[in-house]
Each structure stands twice: as structure tokens, then as C-alpha cells.
Chains A and B, each alone.
Chain A
Amino acid sequence: MVKAETLEMLRKESAGEDLDLSWIDKPAAERGLRVTRGKRGLTLEDISVGTYGNPPEVTRNQSGRMRGSAPRDDAQNLGRHWMLKSESWSDSSMMIYEEALQRQWSSATDIPWEEMPEMDDDLELAMSQLCTFLTQVEFIAGDVPGKFAPNISADHFETGLFLATQIMDEARHLDVFRKRALANGIGLLQAGPGAIGLLTAESFIDMTASLHLVGEGFIQSMFRMGELFAHSEVDKRIFRLAAQDESRHVAFGVMHMKHLLDTEPERKEEVHTYLDRMEGRVGASSTQAGLTGGGDTSEALAILLGGGKDEKRLNEGYKKLMAVRRRQFTEYLHRLEVVGLGDRKERLPERIRAFLDADVA
């Protein structure tokens, strides 16, 4: 605290007569905090201590006042911010925000483009088609979180910060897959139905269920198997780096869902309905089928996985594609178990449930 005599002295200085200085005496949170750096520098977790480290479960802060700063009576009410912490909070936000900053990469300079080899024509065509699909859908995963960002209370600002990193990551993905398609003489090919359906999410939890648990999760599983369908070090590096980014996005969604279901278990059935929709159980066709399994993408993936388009290789490619799909579903199920939806295995459409047991590895 600033001593009263210091304030009085300042007011008595030349030109100090109009100073009020009452704001110095009215902190909302504690002063005198001396945060200390950890091994990873001065992180958000390091400063989330004392009264600054206690995000309220319910807030009436509609003014954009940052958590821990003192309120004003005349602050504008923006009327757009969610009041409940459970609506958007993820315990992982602070950690993965910092990780995202540490692990940023550049599609321009961190990919060894100069080492791009001459590829077999069919493989290059297939890779360009796959990248056309990926550059099409990747930034939808930036548009969707952006849609909800204006609603994140400044009392829960860490969520907003994480979303900004996801948007940055998805920009890089749009960019790197576009560049890849343009890097070896083929260019962009056939666009598909895309992933606009993800923008129909009407609540944050609807978004984390459909985008993070399903969409990003499936893409993450696919990228992590990039070694199988990438035929050059250039491509392998792209998929490795992109998978790393997707892991953070999935972690955010998993931890948000877990927080919600831990604090509001009565919303479990609601969450199931979002997954029902994504799994194609409510009549409309499943968005996810278009996301990772459209006909053009499947064929391109099969060619890449098998190493060519002749019958033998294509057959092998489709077998591997089945293994990729199986892993996508297996990892999806694991995410469901982590968030407390392990019972969903019994609710999965039979075509998915049986697939988990299929001998396709």
C-alpha cells in the first residue's frame, strides 16, 4: 500500500493540488504480491495466485473488467459475457496457452521446403487432394471458437487467451496445407462439402463437444498417423507439427468438458445429444463423415497409405485407412472416458461400436 503521507506529499507538490489519488487506496485484489518465475519463465500459472488466482464460479461482471482489478460504478455494461465459470472454463487453459507460445512454428521457415523431392505423380496428386481438403476445413476450427470469444467473461479470460492461440494455430494449418498443395507443381484440386456444419454450434459446450472432442480429435488421430501417409520428410514434418498443435486443442476441449460434467453432472444428457448429432444419429447426415471420410479424401488417403493406385497398393491403402479410422474411434472413446462419458460406448451407433472391435489393425 502507498503510505498516506506519500499521497499527501504528492498533493502538496507544485501542480499537485488537483490530484485525487483515491484510486491508489482502493485495490480490488491484494497488493504487494511478488510472483516468482518458474522453470518455464513467468507463466500465467505463476501469476494465478492469491486473490488473482481464484476465478469466480459466478460473476456479474459485464463490463470487461479484468479479474482482480477494481470496479467503477460508471463502467459500461456490455451485456454479452457468460456469468458461469463452467460455461467456458478449462483447467488446462493456462498451461496450454503457455505451451502454445513456446511451440509456435512457421510454415515459411520451419518446414524444409527446399528438400521437397520429386514424387510419383499419383502420390503427389493424392497429397495435393488431401491438402486441398485440409486447407478447406482447418480454419473452420478458427472461425468456430472466434464466434464465442466475445462472450468470455474477463473473469475467465484465460479461456479467451487460449482461443486466440487456437485461432493462430488454425491459421497456420490453413496456410501450411495450402502451401504444401502449391509446393510441388500440382496445386489445389477438388474442394468438398467442407466443415461449415461445425459453425452451427450454438453454445460453448456444443462447440467443445462437436469441434474438440470429435472434429479436432479425429484430425489429431489422423495427423499422428501422418508417418503412414507422408512420403517425404517435408510432409512428415508438417503432420508432426500440426498434430502437436491439435493435441492442445483437444486437451482444452477435454478439460472443459470434464470441468462442466464435474460441476454440472445434470448436463450429461445434453452433451450426449451433441455427440448424437455428430455421430449422425439425429437424422441429418454427420458432419464428421465429411470431415475425415469424404470419398475424394478417402481415395487420396488410400493411395498415399498404399503407396500407389494399382490394385495391390490400393487394397493395402484401404486396409491401412481402416486402421486409421479405427484409431480415430478408439481415441475418441478414450476422450469420452476421460471426460466422464465412458458409458457412451453403449450408445455409439452400431457401425462405430462394431468398428472398434474390427480386426483391421
Chain B
Amino acid sequence: MATKTEVAKQYVDFQQARDFDGLATLLADDVELKMPMAGEVSGKEAVGKRLRNQPGGDNAPQLQWSDPEEDGDDIKVSATGAPFGPLSLVLSFNANEQITKINIAIGANGGGGFQPPPLNMSWADVPTERPPKPSNFGEDGFTLAKADSGSYGWAPAHWPYQNDTPRGAWPAEDANRGLPAPYTIFDKHEVWADNAADLYELGIRERWIPATEVSWGSIEPLDDHVEAALDQVFTNISETQYNSNQILMGWLQEISYGFHEVKLYLSTQVFDQARHVEAFRKRALANGGGLGVQMPGFMHRTVYAAFKFTELICYINILRASFLLALAENEHLPKSEADRQLFGHTANDLQRHLAFGVDHLKHYIRHDTINLSHVNTWLARGEAMMAADLRRDKPLREALILGLGETVEEGKERLNELRQAQLQKYVKTLEAASVYKREESLVPAFQRVIDEP
């Protein structure tokens, strides 16, 4: 016959295995179950049913049970890992070593209250790096770059953990790691940019609030056709940034936790883009105008269809951001202090987006000689789609002509200058990213829409 201690061990094992038929073999016919959180039941059948439905809390497999200990005539076991702190299990027995009473209670000492379980603190002994205490914060404060010192700042070429283990923490044992995540990007070269941590902090420092930090009252009534032209441009910007914003948010769940700097930076970028969506919408509605006509959407579709993160970055951080930045820097389009503030803040945001794109492309291209070819493929695809949009977007073309010039003729000249400035911004950005002489291999349709806007 098994001893009481052995029966208690069997009880715990059956419970963890959710083997309630096996567990029932340990019970006396008149067994009583007392769970202070769930009342009392008695009789083997009723107790079995209760345990089957509420097996020591629904998370029984997660509980870590101590070894059974004698407690007078009873056997006591305690558990950690329950949602409410420690649990205790006290079992009483009849002469046949069958279980006659089961008392499950919150607190390691059972119904007596909330005595602590045996102190474990194994988490305090894990051999992670002890970082130096930071000092001399300076006006930038305690930045990510300062915090991630030593090995904490080292992002490996391949991140080995499939769950949300933070970089630098001691990973949980295999059995306690939970679900592997749906992340698909584990290789650093696919997402990394050396400046991500700094850009993250900069993005936070340079945040702005369209509702209160734009001088909306400075906007004076404009000629109706000029207001309509500006509003058409604002409509395009708002729509473009909503598209970039949506898709970029969707890519966050692809990036594994080991590259937290990138996830953090991208969060600032989606936040920036959300601001652009609403700020330009507000401006379109603020001065007696309204939204204009939607875009053709070839680039929208292309952004949605990006198969690779770097491909997406080519579209939204390089091509789109270059063109939008050159537009935001144009001196002829803003007609009020509010307009200048809007474009100025937006340009500032876009500088960061470009900077991330540049550093990421550089890192990606350095990784493998074939990667430059990938980049050129994506750039060509982006150029072709942007050309398709620009060629078909008559409202945008005409709006820019009316918005940029005092006369139609002047507007056309300035549109020409704008397109050249946008191309130059794009080409120079690529040069900074170590993609040289792109101007010599532009997609012809793209070149045409620049030369003949």
C-alpha cells in the first residue's frame, strides 16, 4: 500500500496531467473538497466533477508544486504560479490511505491566511550582465543608447528566440517560453539601422501637436481656386500617409523582439504618419475648402504588396519620403504661417524617416552582394508605380500648378522645378545609402513624368 506521502505525490501528478480518472482512484467514497473560493462539495462523484471542471485552478499545468510534507496526520503541498499567488493543498486520509479531505486554499499555509510560500528568488540568480549605473545624463536624458550599455547594446546577426524574450534577459526554460510568436524576421540585416535607437529618442524629442502647435488662426481666406488647389495637395498627403501608416503598423508583428530599437523607432514613425494624416486633413477643412479627389493608388497597392521589409522601406522611407520632403520644403506652396508650420514640422519628421531608410539600406546592402540588386529591383518597381500615379493624377498636377504659381505659366515652371527637386532628393538619398548613380538607370516612365510633369 502506498504511503500518504506517495498518494499525495500521485494526486499532484494526476492533477498536472489532467488525468481525473486516475485521480478519482485515490479518493474515498465520502471524500470532501473544500475550496474557499468555490465552496464545499462532498461525495466521490461530486468531488470528481468539481476537480474535473476546476482542477486546482484552470492553470494547473502551470503550477509548480513543492514536495509533499507531513503535517500531523495530514499531508501538505504548496504551489506557486497561480494567478493569485501561492496555493496550498492539504490532504487528509482514512486508514486505507484513501483521501477523505481535500482542502485547497489561497496562501501557502492554507486556510490560515496568506503566509508566503518558500522563498524562491531563483530569478535573482540568473547570470545576466550587471550594467554600470548611468550618470551624467545631459540634456538628452537617459537615452536608449545610454541604457543599452555592454552586451545589452549588442544586437546579434540572428536573433535566436521565437517569443518575446527581451534582449539581455535570461531566457525562460524551453517548457516555460509560451507560444512561439508569429515573427518572421530574425536576421538583423533584414531590419537593422545603426541609427534606430537615436532616431527613436529624437522622434520623441521632436514630437509636435497639430491641434495646438499650429497657428490655425493665421490662415487668411484665399482665392477659391488657390484654396481648392492647396486642399487637393493636402488630400493627397493625408491619403498617402494613411497608407504608409497602416502598412507599417502591420509589419511590426513580423519583427522579432531582439531588434527592439527598430520596433521602437518604427513606432515613432507610425505616430508621425498618423499626425500627418490628421494635420493635413485639418488644414484642408480649416479655411473654407474641403477634401479633393483621391489618388489613383498604384503606390498604395505596391506598399500593401511589399513582400520584404526592405522593399517596404524603399517605397515609403526612400521614394515617398524623398518626394514628400521636397514638397514640404518648397517655399511657394505655403500661404500662411500655419501652412509653413505644418510643412516645417512634417519635413522634420520626414528627415528622420529618410535617415532610417538610408541607414537600413546601407546595412542591408553591406550584408550580401546580391542585396544591391534586390534594392534596384524594388526601386524600379516603386518608380514605375509612382510614375503611374503621377501621370494619371490630373487633380494633383493641376493643383500644384495653381498652388505654386501666381499664374498658370509660373505654376508650370515651379512644378517643373519641384519635380527636379524631388528627383534630386531621391537620388541624393540613395547615394547616402550607397546606391550610386540611380539617375542613370531610372525607369523611363518615371524619368518622363519628372521631365514632363
Residues of A within 8 A of B (CB): 1-3, 6-7, 10, 13-16, 19-21, 23-24, 26-35, 37, 40-44, 46-47, 52, 63-66, 68-72, 74-76, 78, 80, 97-98, 101-102, 104, 106-109, 111, 113-114, 116, 125, 129, 132, 135-137, 139-140, 142-147, 149-150, 152, 154, 157, 160-161, 163-165, 167-168, 170-172, 174-175, 178-179, 182-197, 199-200, 279-281, 285-286, 288-290, 292-296, 298-300, 302, 309, 311, 314-315, 317-319, 321-322, 325, 349-351, 354-355, 358, 360
Instruction: Report the nearest A residue to B108, measured CB to CB.
Output: A318
B267 touches A19 (CB 8 A): no
Pair B271/A167 contact, Cβ less than 8 Å: yes
CB distance from A245 to the nearest CB of B (A): 13
Contact A186 to B288, CB < 8 A, known contacts A2-B225, A354-B38:
no
Contacts of B170 in A (CB 8 A): 188-191
Q: Which residues in A have their C-beta under 8 angstroms from that of B217? A: 37
* Nearest-CB residue, chain A, relative to B394: A20
Contact B163 A194 (CB under 8 A): yes
* Contact pattern, B 287-299, Cβ under 8 Å of A = 1, otherwise 0: 1111111111110
B344 close to chain A: CB less than 8 A: no
Name the distance in Å between B234's Cβ and chain A's nearest Cβ: 10
| Contacts A42-B210, A76-B301, A289-B83 supplied; 11 other A-B pairs, CB < 8 Å | A15-B412, A28-B291, A64-B242, A66-B239, A75-B297, A98-B211, A109-B205, A183-B147, A199-B179, A285-B61, A299-B80
Stretch from B133-141, B354-362, B365-373 at the A interface: B133-141
Q: How far is the CB of A259 from chain B (nearest CB, A)?
A: 21
A-contact bits for B124-155, CB 8 A (1 contact / 0 none): 10101111111001011111100111001000
Query: Restricting to B368-419, which residues have a CB under 8 Å from any CB of A?
Result: 392, 394-395, 398-399, 401-402, 407-409, 412
User: Is A350 within 8 A of B54, CB to CB?
Assistant: yes
Partner of B247, one of A70, A150, A171, A175: A150
Given A2-B228, A7-B225, A13–B409 Cβ distance below 8 Å? yes
Segment from B187-195, B274-282, B322-330, B434-442 that makes contact with A = B274-282
Q: Which of A76, A163, A289, A354 contacts B249 (CB 8 A)?
A: A163
A101 and B126 contact, CB distance less than 8 A: no
Please choose the segment from B21-29, B256-264, B313-321, B420-428 that sits at the chain A interface, where 4 or more of its residues have CB less than 8 A away.
B256-264
* B179 proximity list for chain A (CB < 8 A): 196-197, 199-200
Give the interface residue-count category, chain B.
35 or more
A182-B152, A191-B170 given; A27·B292 CB < 8 A: yes
Task: List 8 tightest A-B contacts by C-beta distance, closest first.
Answer: A41-B211, A108-B141, A193-B178, A280-B58, A171-B267, A76-B297, A149-B249, A41-B212
Contact of B168 with A146 in the complex, beta carbons under 8 Å: no
Please name all residues of chain B whose beta carbon is closer than 8 Å to the beta carbon of A322 when the two chains form the complex: 84-85, 106, 114
User: For B209, what are the chain A residues with a Cβ–Cβ distance below 8 Å?
Assistant: 41, 101-102
Asked whether, in the complex, the Cβ of B82 is within 8 Å of the Cβ of A289, the reply is yes
Name which residue of chain B comes closest to A290, CB basis.
B178
Q: Which residues of chain A are within 8 angstroms of B132 by Cβ–Cβ distance?
A: 185
Residue among B39, B116, B243, B304 having the largest count of chain A Cβ atoms under 10 Å: B116
Closest Cβ–Cβ distance, residue B296 to chain A (whole Å): 6
Select which of B83, B211, B235, B246 is within 8 A of A42 by beta carbon. Answer: B211
Task: Determine the chain B residues whose CB is within 8 A of the CB of A104 once the complex forms.
Answer: 204, 207
Please give, as numbers and ranges, the residues of chain A lying within 8 Å of B201 by CB-CB distance. Answer: 106, 108
Q: Which residues of A contact B294 (CB under 8 A)?
A: 63-66, 69-72, 75
**From A81, which residue of chain B is reached at the shortest CB distance?**
B246
Tell me if B95 is interfacial: C-beta within 8 Å of chain A. Answer: no
B142 and A183 contact, CB distance less than 8 A: yes
Question: Cβ of B300 and Cβ of A355 under 8 Å apart?
Answer: no
Sampled A-B contacts (25; CB under 8 Å): A10-B408, A16-B408, A32-B289, A34-B288, A52-B291, A65-B294, A69-B294, A72-B294, A74-B296, A75-B294, A76-B301, A101-B210, A101-B211, A132-B166, A178-B144, A182-B147, A196-B179, A196-B181, A286-B58, A295-B81, A299-B121, A309-B121, A314-B119, A319-B113, A351-B84
Contact (Cβ within 8 A) A13 B407: yes
A154 to B245, CA, bound (A): 11
B140 touches A108 (CB 8 A): yes
How far, in angstroms, from A19 to B229 measured CA to CA in the complex? 13
Q: Which A residues touch B401, using CB under 8 A?
A: 19
Contact B168 A187 (CB under 8 A): yes
B326 to chain A, nearest CB (A): 23
Which residues of chain B have C-beta atoms less than 8 A from A292's C-beta? 83
* Shortest Cβ distance from A7 into B: residue: B225
